[in-house]
Amino acid sequence: MANAERMEAQLKALSLISEQGEEGTTRLSYTPEYRKGADYIKKLMEEAGLTVREDAAGLVWGLLPGTDPDAPKLISGSHLDTVRCSGFYDGQAGIICALEAARMIKESGKPLKGDFEVVAIPMEEGARFPNLTGSKLAAGVLKEADLDLVKDTEGTTLREAMLSYGLTGKLDGVDRSKEKVKAFIELHMEQGTLLEDEGIDLGVVDGIFGCYWKTITVRGEVSHPSTPMAKRKDAGLAACRIVSDLSEHVAKNYVGKATVTCGKMDFHPGEINAIPSRAVFSVDFRSGDKKNFDELDAYLAEKIAQVEKDYRVKVEQEVFSNTPPTPNTPAIMNALTTGAKNLGLKSAVLPSGAGHDTMIFAKIWPTGMIFIPSHEGYTHSPREYTDPRNLANGADLIAEAIRILDAQ
Ligand SMILES: [Zn+2]
């Protein structure tokens, strides 16, 4: 079984490498702090008996060779970079649990047929470079030419950052999209409290929420605040009605299935003594099922028609961005659910509201995700915490699911 104390000690040691005072862990990709973190992971991989390779994009791979060179590979890991002032579980727990799983498989004396690789990925967080850049390089989504186009928040190109980190600035051997891989499994802390609240040991993630953004413009008529209420064409009030009804509708009918957020609203002319002639606001829908986006779009259209009538305004909609949901692979979800059962652990199927590298690897490989409980739901915070027992359960489930999939 997994050694909870060892994993917790490794995570603490990893955080101390990058910690800045009491502000939590900051390990931005391709910085000297990231180098120290990557070197520590390499050392742990070597100690666990894995063959270590750092590829040309700085992903660190630890290989446990299988017995059959023709058998498909199995991969598990997560991201090593953090946002500023993070905790020491987000991303990092997924690497340490995969490493513990590899160690258990090796020490069991019963090797796998396929190669098992543990991976530590840079640039998942958007804290320096755009998010998911590390997995996009490994999945062949970003190419050599993109190294001069993708820039960090300071304007440094990816290639320049790679060179200063000690890499070649080329992508030789980075793209793994042509390889025969049976499963990529990522363990992550839940970004919520469902598992903790319900007393569930592990979450099997069925998919990652898609994200559907709209910009909505309401046009009314500017007028003095002394205008009788019934005579107005108040664009601001109409916008607020749409947002409030839409939010209530989602809160009531889509619990655990979808969310809606209005994060931005501007009124024109934006004066204390003027009825707004125009209101522009954003709508952010998230869901694991595209069907919910279609349903909510229909509800929104209905609501707009009603508001146009009630408030005597005109409303225009524009789609700003549309990232579809990413479903995980049923066969891998089954292996995770069966694995949890074999281990006597309570699991539940749930979606991920946040994006992960798994979204990118799902374009080229079968994927699965495990959530471990997060105490009070903190992530991207120095207050992140999970009981060491959850780390052990996670590592045990990775090892068990990898065995089940390898035997299929
Ligand atoms: Zn993360």
Question: Where are the domains positioned within the chain?
Answer: 4-208+325-407, 210-323
Predicted pLDDT of residue 109: 94
For the residues 321-327, what does the mean pLDDT come to? 87
pLDDT at residue 18 is higher than 80:
no
Assign domain 4-208+325-407 to a CATH class: alpha beta
CA of residue 107 to ligand 1 center, whole Å: 29
CA of residue 245 to ligand 1 center, whole Å: 32
CA of residue 364 to ligand 1 center, whole Å: 20
CA of residue 376 to ligand 1 center, whole Å: 16
CA of residue 13 to ligand 1 center, whole Å: 18
CB 292 within 8 A of CB 242: no
CA of residue 352 to ligand 1 center, whole Å: 11
Measure the CA–CA gap between 37 and 102, rounded to whole angstroms. Answer: 19
CA of residue 104 to ligand 1 center, whole Å: 24
CA of residue 78 to ligand 1 center, whole Å: 8
- The first and second tokens of residue 104, run together, are 């258990």
Give per-residue pLDDT as tens, 179-191. Answer: 999 999 999 999 9
- Using CB atoms within 10 Å of the CB of residue 279, give its burial: 0 to 12 exposed, 13 to 18 middle, 19+ buried: buried
For the residues 134-142, what does the mean pLDDT come to? 96
% the chain with pLDDT above 70? 99
CA of residue 222 to ligand 1 center, whole Å: 46
pLDDT at residue 244 is higher than 70:
yes
For the residues 295-303, what does the mean pLDDT come to? 97
Predicted pLDDT of residue 48: 96
Predicted pLDDT of residue 153: 83
Which range, 23-32, 142-151, 337-346, 347-356, has the best average confidence (pLDDT)?
Answer: 337-346
Query: Average pLDDT, whole number, for the chain?
Result: 94
pLDDT at residue 22 is higher than 70:
no
CA of residue 125 to ligand 1 center, whole Å: 7
pLDDT interval class at 19 (50, 70, 90): low
CA of residue 330 to ligand 1 center, whole Å: 23
pLDDT interval class at 256 (50, 70, 90): confident
Torsion of CA 291, 297, 300, 305, to 10 degrees: -130
For the residues 101-116, what does the mean pLDDT come to? 97
Which CATH architecture is the domain 210-323 placed in? 2-Layer Sandwich (3.30)
3 state DSSP class of 214 = strand
For the residues 286-312, what does the mean pLDDT come to? 95
pTM above 0.95, yes or no: no
Predicted pLDDT of residue 121: 98
For the residues 380-407, what does the mean pLDDT come to? 95
CA of residue 289 to ligand 1 center, whole Å: 22
Predicted pLDDT of residue 380: 83
Helix (H) or strand (E) holding 138: helix 133-138
Q: In angstroms, how far apart are the furthest CA atoms of the chain?
A: 83
CA of residue 379 to ligand 1 center, whole Å: 8
Predicted pLDDT of residue 245: 98
For the residues 311-324, what does the mean pLDDT come to? 91
pLDDT at residue 339 is higher than 90:
yes
CA of residue 226 to ligand 1 center, whole Å: 52
CB 391 within 8 A of CB 352: no
- Using CB atoms within 10 Å of the CB of residue 342, give its burial: 0 to 12 exposed, 13 to 18 middle, 19+ buried: middle
Predicted pLDDT of residue 330: 97
pLDDT at residue 137 is higher than 70:
yes
Distances in Å between the Cα of 347 and the Cα atoms of 149, 194, 205 are: 43, 11, 10
Predicted pLDDT of residue 131: 87
CA of residue 92 to ligand 1 center, whole Å: 8
Give per-residue pLDDT as tens, 51-98. Answer: 999 999 999 999 999 999 999 999 999 999 998 888 889 999 999 999
CA of residue 242 to ligand 1 center, whole Å: 33
Helix (H) or strand (E) holding 63: strand 60-64
pLDDT at residue 104 is higher than 80:
yes
Question: Which residues, in sequence order, are CB contacts of 59 under 8 Å at separation 6+?
Answer: 119, 120, 121, 122, 134, 137, 138, 174
- The first and second tokens of residue 11, run together, are 């995570």
